[in-house]
């Protein structure tokens, strides 16, 4: 059963909040961790792990190992894959004709079946109790409809599951919020981030599908594709927003949101 969803950022500032806004965001992230303390497993979708143009990925490797921090912020640790659930999800997506690949590394099982983690996973994981994971990767080169359908099939698998599973969406939003940032100041970043928070807070997530492609592209976001997967999964049960927050302490926008099953 899908017990709830956490939308979580992966920027270093949430680890040591530099201002009150970011502190409020970190508080929402801690609340997500508290809410899902009773879950059996997490499904974690991250945009900073494997990136494939036109296929989504489901990691089957048994051991998930910290490998790559951002700007020197190393967050060591190892997690286990919930392999049974990962295989169920991969098979269901594959049978439904989704563009998906299973991902292993080095060996097919045992201690050498390992997979590297980046800040995209490691930062959300800092707020979550250690549990088995299914790590999945979105793709920017497949259609919006396919991403939503992929999420629906994921939701169906989770609904049939006896385990209590929480879905964690790792996402940062517009990256053009600071003239001195690596992408400069881009008005679309502010526009996109404001819209996303509106859709979250006003329970209008279905409208994600009508955001213009041009806005997504110009806003330099890192969130849209995995949020469409989230939308698909959320269609399979009723969820209630329990908390949300937004902060933009540097050049990119970060959002946290917690939905729990009604």
Binding site for its own copies (CB under 8 A): 48-55, 67-68, 70, 101-108, 112, 114, 116, 118-120
Q: Least Å distance between CB 262 and its own copies?
A: 36
Q: Least Å distance between CB 180 and its own copies?
A: 18
Q: Least Å distance between CB 149 and its own copies?
A: 19
Which structure tokens are listed for 166? 């929480």
Q: Least Å distance between CB 87 and its own copies?
A: 11
**Smaller CB distance to its own copies: residue 54 or 145?**
54
User: What gap in Å lies between CA 124 and CA 87, rounded to an integer?
Assistant: 23
**Smaller CB distance to its own copies: residue 34 or 141?**
141
Under 8 Å between Cβ of 143 and 162: no
Under 8 Å between Cβ of 45 and 168: yes
Ordered strands of the 41-45 beta sheet: 56-59, 133-137, 41-45, 165-170, 2-8, 254-261, 239-247
Q: Least Å distance between CB 113 and its own copies?
A: 9
**Smaller CB distance to its own copies: residue 48 or 236?**
48
> Quick one: 52 exposed, middle or buried, by C-beta within 10 A (0-12, 13-18, 19+)?
middle
Which structure tokens are listed for 71? 């700007």
**Smaller CB distance to its own copies: residue 53 or 210?**
53
Q: Which residues contact 39 (CB under 8 A, 6 or more apart)?
A: 3, 131, 164, 165, 166
**Smaller CB distance to its own copies: residue 31 or 91?**
91
Residue in the block written with tokens 């209008």: 204
**Smaller CB distance to its own copies: residue 114 or 218?**
114
Closest CA to 61 of 34, 36, 83: 83
Neighbours of 159 (CB within 10 A): 13
Name beta bridge partners: 244: 257
Which structure tokens are listed for 132? 């088995």
Q: Least Å distance between CB 45 and its own copies?
A: 15
């Amino acid at each position: 059963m899908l017990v709830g969803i956490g939308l979580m950022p992966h920027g270093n500032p949430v680890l040591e909040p530099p201002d009150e806004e970011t502190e409020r965001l970190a508080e929402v992230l801690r609340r997500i961790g508290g809410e899902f303390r009773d879950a059996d497993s997490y499904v974690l979708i991250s945009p900073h792990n494997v990136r494939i143009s036109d296929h989504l990925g489901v990691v089957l490797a048994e051991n998930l190992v910290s490998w790559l921090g951002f700007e020197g912020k190393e967050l060591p640790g190892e997690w286990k894959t919930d392999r049974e659930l990962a295989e169920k999800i991969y098979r269901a997506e594959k049978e439904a004709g989704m563009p998906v690949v299973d991902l292993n590394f080095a060996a097919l099982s045992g201690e050498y079946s390992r997979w590297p983690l980046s800040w995209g996973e490691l930062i959300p994981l800092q707020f979550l109790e250690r549990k088995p994971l299914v790590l999945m990767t979105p793709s920017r080169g497949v259609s919006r409809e396919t991403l939503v359908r992929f999420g629906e099939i994921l939701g169906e698998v989770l609904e049939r599951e006896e385990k209590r599973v929480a879905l964690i969406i790792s996402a940062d939003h517009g990256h053009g919020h600071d003239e001195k940032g690596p992408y400069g100041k881009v008005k679309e970043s502010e526009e996109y981030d404001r819209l996303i928070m509106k859709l979250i807070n006003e329970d209008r997530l279905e409208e994600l599908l009508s955001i213009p492609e041009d806005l997504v592209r110009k806003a330099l976001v890192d969130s849209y594709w995995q949020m469409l997967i989230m939308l698909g999964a959320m269609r399979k049960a009723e969820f209630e927003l329990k908390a949300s927050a937004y902060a933009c302490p540097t050049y990119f926008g970060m959002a946290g949101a917690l939905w729990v099953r009604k």
